[in-house]
C-alpha cells in the first residue's frame, strides 16, 4: 500500500511521525519532565542531574531529549548537544565548544595595540585576538562554559543521543569531563539516550563508573488513556474533531507505541482534510498505511542489528498468536534451552522482546509478529525476497 499523503493542509498537520521529531503533545512524559525541571531549577539537584534514557526504537527517546533541552534553554541554560559517533569529541573541541564560547564570553574577542603611527595619520593600529582558538581542550572549554552560565544564574546541559557500542570511547571522554565538574558541585547536568543493548554495554564498560551511577530512565509505551489524549488533543487544538469510535480505534491500533500514535494520527488527518470530523473510515485507512509503514521504518532496522540466530529466535516466536513458551521456541530453533536462552537475553537487551511471565516471551515492538509472518524473508536478511524468487526456476514468460 502506498504511503502518499494528501498535499493539501500538510502544513496544518499536528502529527509528526518522523523519528526524533517532537509532537505537539508529549503524552505520558510529564512526570519525567518534572524531574528535569527540578534539576534545572536554581539550587535544586536530583538524581536526574545525570541520567540515562533507554527504550526500544520509536518509543520517544530523542523526543524526550528534545523536550529536556527546550526546558533548559527556556531557563537560560546552555545546551551542548551531540549524537554519539566516532569523532564527536573532536567536533566538540574544534568547532562547537569554541563557537559557543565565542558567542557567550564578552572577553572572547579583544583588540591589541600592534603599532603606532603619526597622529595626523590616525594614531594606532590594532589586531583582533580570539580568546578561544580552535585547539583541543574539551575539559577546560566545558569548565569555562559552565563558569559563564553560572554567572548568569544558569548552567550547562550536556545532552547525548544514540549511545552505541562503537562510540563508548567518545562517551568516556565526555563523561570524565562532566564528572569532574559535578565533583566540584558546578552547575552542570548530563543526559544520554540509547537502545537497551547499547546502554547495557556502557554500564559494563571500563572507565564509565560515572555512567553506572546515573539515574536510569526506561521509556515504556503509552497507556491507552495517554494514547487517546495524544491523538485527540492535537486534533481538537487545530479546530477539528474526531469521532469517539474513530478515536478508540486509532488509540488501540497504536498499541501505545509513540511512533504509531503519530503515524496513525498524521495519516488520519490527511484523509479528506477538507472535512472537520475525522471518522472511522479515515482511521481505518490510516491504520492500514501506518501498520505497513512500520515494517521499513521500525522493524527492518531493528532486525538489521541482530545475528542470524537471534532472528531465528524471533521467527520461531512468530508462529504463536500469543506470547510464546520459551521451551517451544528452543524446540523450533533446534537449540538447547540454554543456547536459546542466550539469544533471548540478547533480544531483551536490544529491547526487541519482553518477558510477560516466567517461561514466556513476547515481542516488544508492535506489529513485528505480523510483519515476520507476512515477510518471512526479513527474519533472514539477505535471502532472496518474494520478488526475486519470481526470477528463479527458468520459466518462460514470453
Which pTM value belongs to this model?
A: 0.77
Q: Structural domain boundaries of the chain?
A: 30-102+138-218, 222-302, 307-384
Shortest CA distance to 85 belongs to which of 199, 165, 189, 195? Answer: 165
Which of left, alpha, beta for 57 (phi over 0: left; psi -120 to 50: alpha)? beta
Shortest CA distance to 315 belongs to which of 253, 361, 246? Answer: 361
30-102+138-218 and 222-302 share one fold? no
Per-residue pLDDT tens over the stretch 303-356: 987 999 999 999 999 999 999 999 999 999 999 999 999 999 989 878 899 889
> Per-residue confidence at 43, pLDDT binned at 50, 70, 90?
low
Over range 43-59, report the average pLDDT: 84
Per-residue pLDDT tens over the stretch 5-15: 344 454 589 99
Per-residue pLDDT tens over the stretch 69-109: 999 999 999 999 999 988 999 999 999 999 999 998 877 65
CA–chain centroid gap for 292, Å, is: 21
User: Is 222-302 CATH 1.10.8?
Assistant: yes
> Per-residue confidence at 119, pLDDT binned at 50, 70, 90?
very low
- Select the CATH number that applies to the domain covering 307-384 from these four: 1.10.10.10, 1.20.120.1200, 3.20.10.10, 1.20.58.1690: 1.10.10.10
Asked if pLDDT for residue 116 goes beyond 50, the answer is: no
Shortest CA distance to 284 belongs to which of 240, 327, 253? Answer: 253
Name which of 14-18, 226-230, 355-359 the model is least confident about. Answer: 14-18
pLDDT at 56: 83
CA–chain centroid gap for 36, Å, is: 17
Question: At the topology level of CATH, where does 30-102+138-218 sit?
Answer: Rossmann fold (3.40.50)
With 0-12 / 13-18 / 19 or more C-beta atoms within 10 angstroms meaning exposed / middle / buried, residue 232 is: buried
Amino acid at each position: 500500500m502506498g504511503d502518499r499523503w494528501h498535499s493539501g493542509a500538510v502544513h496544518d498537520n499536528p502529527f509528526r511521525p518522523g523519528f526524533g521529531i517532537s509532537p505537539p503533545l508529549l503524552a505520558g512524559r510529564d512526570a519525567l519532565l518534572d524531574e528535569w525541571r527540578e534539576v534545572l531549577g536554581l539550587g535544586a539537584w536530583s538524581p536526574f542531574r545525570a541520567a540515562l534514557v533507554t527504550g526500544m526504537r520509536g518509543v520517544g527517546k530523542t523526543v524526550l531529549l528534545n523536550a529536556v533541552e527546550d526546558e533548559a534553554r527556556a531557563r537560560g541554560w546552555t545546551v551542548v548537544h551531540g549524537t554519539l559517533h566516532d569523532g564527536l569529541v573532536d567536533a566538540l573541541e574544534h568547532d562547537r565548544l569554541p563557537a559557543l564560547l565565542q558567542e557567550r564570553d564578552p572577553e572572547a574577542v579583544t583588540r591589541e595595540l600592534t603599532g603606532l603611527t603619526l597622529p595626523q595619520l590616525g594614531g594606532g593600529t590594532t589586531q583582533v585576538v580570539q580568546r578561544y582558538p580552535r585547539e583541543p581542550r574539551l575539559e577546560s572549554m566545558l569548565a569555562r562554559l559552565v563558569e559563564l552560565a553560572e554567572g548568569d544564574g544558569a548552567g550547562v546541559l550536556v545532552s547525548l543521543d544514540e549511545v552505541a557500542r562503537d562510540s563508548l570511547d567518545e562517551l568516556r571522554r565526555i563523561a570524565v569531563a562532566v564528572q569532574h565538574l559535578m565533583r566540584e558541585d558546578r552547575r552542570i547536568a548530563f543526559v544520554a539516550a540509547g537502545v537497551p543493548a547499547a546502554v547495557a554495554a556502557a554500564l559494563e564498560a571500563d572507565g564509565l563508573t560515572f555512567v553506572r551511577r546515573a539515574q536510569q530512565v526506561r521509556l515504556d509505551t503509552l497507556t491507552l488513556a495517554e494514547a487517546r489524549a495524544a491523538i485527540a488533543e492535537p486534533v481538537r487544538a487545530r479546530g477539528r474533531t474526531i469521532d469517539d469510535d474513530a478515536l478508540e480505534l486509532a488509540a488501540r491500533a497504536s498499541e501505545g507505541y509513540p511512533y504509531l500514535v503519530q503515524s496513525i494520527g498524521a495519516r488520519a488527518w490527511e484523509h479528506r482534510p477538507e472535512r472537520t470530523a475525522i471518522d472511522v473510515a479515515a482511521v481505518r485507512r490510516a491504520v492500514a498505511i501506518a501498520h505497513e509503514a512500520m515494517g521499513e521504518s521500525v522493524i527492518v532496522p531493528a532486525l538489521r542489528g541482530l545475528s542470524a540466530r537471534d532472528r531465528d529466535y524471533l521467527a520461531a516466536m512468530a508462529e504463536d498468536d500469543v506470547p510464546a513458551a520459551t521451551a517451544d521456541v528452543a524446540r523450533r530453533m533446534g537449540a538447547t534451552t540454554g543456547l536459546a536462552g542466550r539469544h533471548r537475553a540478547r533480544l531483551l537487551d536490544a529491547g526487541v522482546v519482553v518477558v510477560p511471565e516466567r517461561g514466556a516471551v513476547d515481542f516488544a515492538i508492535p506489529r513485528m509478529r505480523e510483519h515476520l509472518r507476512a515477510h518471512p524473508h526479513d527474519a533472514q536478511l539477505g535471502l532472496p525476497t518474494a520478488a526475486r524468487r519470481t526470477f528463479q526456476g527458468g520459466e518462460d514468460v514470453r
